[in-house]
Structure 1
């Protein structure tokens, strides 16, 4: 039986760091596109990392990760960084780094908590992936990112008009160290995509989506099993994933053997 480490402060910070690592790699790759067309900036403030993407106004790409209680002196500078860019943003705070002083200071500055997000972790177990009938998975080929963009949009509910942008912003990761892309089929029909990033012996399950008409056929479970197995082959020590609290994605990860590391809090400015 594989021994899964218990949650400690040190482990929780390693889980968080894996998310910071893959997010940093992702947005810097986008920034390195000729002329930085998406307007990417990444800035360090103490232990915190601030991400800003001008052409992607969503919270995921305009967020502060890694902030700790001893970063209170940096909060005003972080707020100013985003205000100079006229951008709403969010703080992501894990339990082991929060205290009453930090949370109270954010509240005094007009921020409030508006949600939770779950981080799960496990140890690769070496078991071969066993997929449901009719489900197959293989690695995405370099010339298939237009198809990736389409499946990504269909699986997440985005307008297909954005598929080429999704393709371009992921194509830049293909040859970047640590990134792996997978495409899934149901009865030989392209049905979904999944992504994994490996850094410092940790495999992050960064993204997965299934086209609605092919859901409930076992593809998400297959994506999890495939990436966990690939993490084992890469000699990773941990597998880490994120999901909305008590969501189907979290349920699938727990069924695949991952356990909850923490739920992080999301704080946004009151409007």
Structure 2
């Protein structure tokens, strides 16, 4: 997410108003034009950042944005959680982090399905799947295309599209760094759900990680969601459940 935000920030004129700031281990992400939690969140906070807590909160309040903390259970103790509660935050959700060692599945795709890497001139198609597959309106297609196209030639990023009878049906993204691959995004158009495309895209990216000599593949999903179930079906295991803390 840090690399993605820096790439978007580096677009001419920083049109999304991206700011990235660190307080110790805590990484604060902010976007002026994208109000969603994933673009306005604190990652990596540990007990040692307790002294920065008020400064982190002020960073977002100065920008009139509600703050979200992503809490990894092994990084914090009850004291930090109590301090969050005392400042008006509550636990508002759960998110699963999964992992698997890279492997080859050697599955034969059905004749009517194919998966290929995205070409540079296909980001409108990618953005259409991204928006319609996640419930965003079509007026988001152009900015989603622009904010992802900046990743095309950036080290570590790979995009894939799944086709059903030559129609674009699903998309997925991965990021590779330091022999670890992260499955960063996937979406399927409503008309093509139930065909196993999400699982096929999971396997395709895990095989890509294997071919790039990665030692680990990680993924993220909502707890007990369809994505979670698909990850477990192909052999991914739960690494930890993180919690989301939101300002009241």
* TM-score, structure 2 as length reference: 0.98
Instruction: Tell me which residue corresponds to 1:198.
Output: 176
RMSD: 0.9
What is the CA–CA distance in structure 2 between the aligned matches of 1:178 and 1:247, rounded to whole Å? Answer: 27
Name the stretch that deviates more: 69-78 or 128-137.
128-137
Question: Which runs of structure 1 show a deviation greater than 6 angstroms over 4 or more consecutive aligned residues?
Answer: none
- Pick from 83, 108, 125 the counterpart of residue 105 of structure 1: 83
Tell me how far 1:257 sits from its aligned partner: 1.0
Alignment of 1:34-49 (within 5 A): 34-49=12-27
* Structure 2, gaps ≥5 residues long: none
Quote how far apart the aligned CAs of 1:239 are.
Answer: 0.5
**In structure 1, the residue corresponding to 2:139 is in which secondary structure?**
helix
State the match for 1:237 in structure 2: 215
1:114 matched to which residue of 2? 92
What's the secondary structure of 1:96's corresponding residue?
Answer: helix
- Deviation, 1:189, is 1.0
Query: Aligned residue pairs: how many?
Result: 248
In 2, the alpha carbon distance for the partners of 1:126 and 1:267 equals: 37
Shift of 1:128: 2.4
Q: Distance in 1 between matches of 2:110 and 2:79?
A: 50
For residue 49 of structure 2, the aligned residue among 58, 71, 78 is 71
Query: Residue by residue, what CA displacement relative to the aligned partner does 1:193-218 show, whole Å, maximum 9, x if unpaired?
Result: 10000011111000010000011111
SS at match of 1:235: coil
1:85-105 superposed Cα distances (whole Å, 9 cap, x missing partner): 010120000110120110011
**Length-normalised TM-score, structure 1:** 0.90
Q: Report if aligned partners of 1:151, 1:192 keep a CA contact under 8 Å in 2.
A: yes
**How much does 1:71 deviate?**
1.0
**TM superposition shift of 1:269:** 0.8
Per-residue deviation, 1:113:
0.5
Map 1:70-89 → 2, pairs under 5 A: 70-89=48-67
The offset of 1:59, in angstroms, is 0.5
Equivalent residue, structure 2, for 1:10 = none
Segments of structure 1 that go 5 or more residues without pairing to the other structure are 1-22
- SS of the aligned residue for 2:224 comes to coil
